[in-house]
Amino acid sequence: MKKIGILTGGADCPGLNSVIRSVVRKAMQEGYVITGIKNGWSGLIENDTRILDLRMTSGILDKGGTILGTSRAKPHEDPKQVKQVIENYKRSGIDALIVVGGEETLKVARYFDQKGLMKIVGVPKSIDNALFGTDYAFGFDTAVNIATECIDRLHTTAESHHRIIVIEVMGQHTGWIALEAGIAGGADIILVPEIPINLKKVCCDIKARHRRGKNFTIMVVSEGAKIEGEESKDALKSISERRRGNIGDLLAKTIEGQTGYETRVSVLGHIQRGGTPTAYDRLIGTQFGVFAVQLVKENRFGQMVSLFDNKLRSVSIEEAVKKRKTIDMDLYNMAKVFFAGE
Ligand code: F6P
């Protein structure tokens, strides 16, 4: 085994460069040559690769995004692209591939691994923290910290103007960012995709809070949260439609209409994914990278690096992508202690 490839796929995320740097450093120490594949799986469709060295990967630990670029390409859905990927994989002389990505990127990895077409080790990234096979996917801590800082800033303006501010955070399927940033930012209401929104109760809770003399409210909502009774209708909407920040707008309009309190909405969007990773994400990214090379060295393919009870482990990629990791309901129930209606 002489050459390891690495690609970063799916949404970008703070900490990706920490992993790339760490993989290159460890792999070179072990005598491997490292090939960087550009723009996720697209790089193997288009044969866009380059050899990585220490010079190219030094000074990137603290940089957001990914020096390799990324894409949401899913070549396993198109037989023509599968052929191109395999041809280019062979042509580049890669013996094993480290795939850094979330659920969708790792599903592509599962395909090539299960067909016996590639030797793959996965590394979990997800600002949403929704990957099932690991307690933690890097990028999440940075997203929570950014969202918390935004909530703090919106708190002071909500209080000064006696307004309700609806803060929409990322999380199409799971409410991890809303829950953790909401608790850390002292949100009065947290709404997540796992629990359909009871609009009547939300409005009652806000009114009750006002009656207690609190004439402002901070509400944090995941972009994928749905109104009770509207879940199936919403499921029919295209992803692009659902990404337009409409749950925040919908809530703000409805709440203002039903309570009479002035309401504003703030959609945090891609701010949550950009810029410098936190110390924790650099630390985890660095550990994940070294461990991924170790798994390659031990021929433990079809595995994804995972963090379990604060220890590095590996799980099969199959296990990691079989379902989503939804929020910790104990944590959600604890958060209710601080909710407006309690
Ligand atoms: O999967 C990560 C994520 O940031 C989600 O939280 C969000 O819904 C989505 O990506 C946004 O994707 P895009 O960058 O393509 O708009």
In three-state secondary structure terms, 177 is helix
Give the pLDDT score at 171: 97
Tell me the per-residue pLDDT of 93-135, one tens digit each, with 9 for 90 and over: 999 999 999 999 999 999 999 999 999 999 999 999 999 999 9
Q: Is the pLDDT of residue 26 over 90?
A: yes
| Partners of residue 49 on adjacent β-strands | 37
Task: Give residue 335's pLDDT band: very low, low, confident or very high (50, 70, 90).
Answer: very high
Q: Where would I find the H helices in 52-102?
A: 79-91
pTM above 0.85, yes or no: yes
Question: What is the best residue among 173, 243, 270, 271 to mutate for testing ligand 1's pocket, by most ligand atoms within 8 Å of CB?
Answer: 243
Q: Is the pLDDT of residue 317 over 90?
A: yes
Can you point out the beta strands (E) in the chain?
3-8, 33-37, 49-52, 96-101, 120-124, 164-169, 189-191, 217-222, 263-267, 303-308, 311-316
Tell me the per-residue pLDDT of 179-212, one tens digit each, with 9 for 90 and over: 999 999 999 999 999 999 999 999 999 999 999 9
| Sequence-ordered list of residues with C-beta below 8 angstroms from that of 260, at least 6 positions apart, any chain | none
Q: What is the DSSP letter of 38?
A: S
Parallel/antiparallel/unpaired status of strands 164-169 and 263-267 = parallel
pLDDT, mean of residues 252-274: 96
* Residue 216, amino acid: F
Q: How far is CA 290 from CA 46, 141, 178, 314, 330, in A?
A: 28, 20, 31, 13, 33
What separation in Å is there between the alpha carbon of 130 and the centre of ligand 1?
12
Q: What percent of the chain has pLDDT over 70?
A: 95
Task: Give residue 233's pLDDT band: very low, low, confident or very high (50, 70, 90).
Answer: low
Q: Cβ of 171: how many Cβ atoms within 10 Å? A: 27
Q: How far is CA 195 from CA 173, 177, 199, 229, in A?
A: 11, 14, 12, 11
Cβ–Cβ < 8 Å for 321, 335? no
Rounded CA gap, 106 and 99, in Å?
7
Ligand 1: atom nearest CA of 224 is: 8
Structural domains in the chain plus CATH codes? 3-139+277-321 (3.40.50.450), 141-273 (3.40.50.460)
Tell me the per-residue pLDDT of 282-311, one tens digit each, with 9 for 90 and over: 999 999 999 999 999 999 999 999 999 999
Pocket of ligand 1 (CB under 6 A): 11, 102, 127-128, 170-172, 223, 243, 273
Task: Give residue 342's pLDDT band: very low, low, confident or very high (50, 70, 90).
Answer: confident
Question: What is the best residue among 128, 169, 223 to mutate for testing ligand 1's pocket, by most ligand atoms within 8 Å of CB?
Answer: 128
Rounded CA gap, 158 and 136, in Å?
32
In three-state secondary structure terms, 262 is coil
Is 53 marked active-site? no
Tell me the per-residue pLDDT of 36-70, one tens digit each, with 9 for 90 and over: 999 999 999 999 999 999 999 999 999 999 999 99
Cβ–Cβ < 8 Å for 220, 167? yes
What separation in Å is there between the alpha carbon of 61 and the centre of ligand 1?
23
Check 12, 95, 113, 128 and give the catalytic one: 128
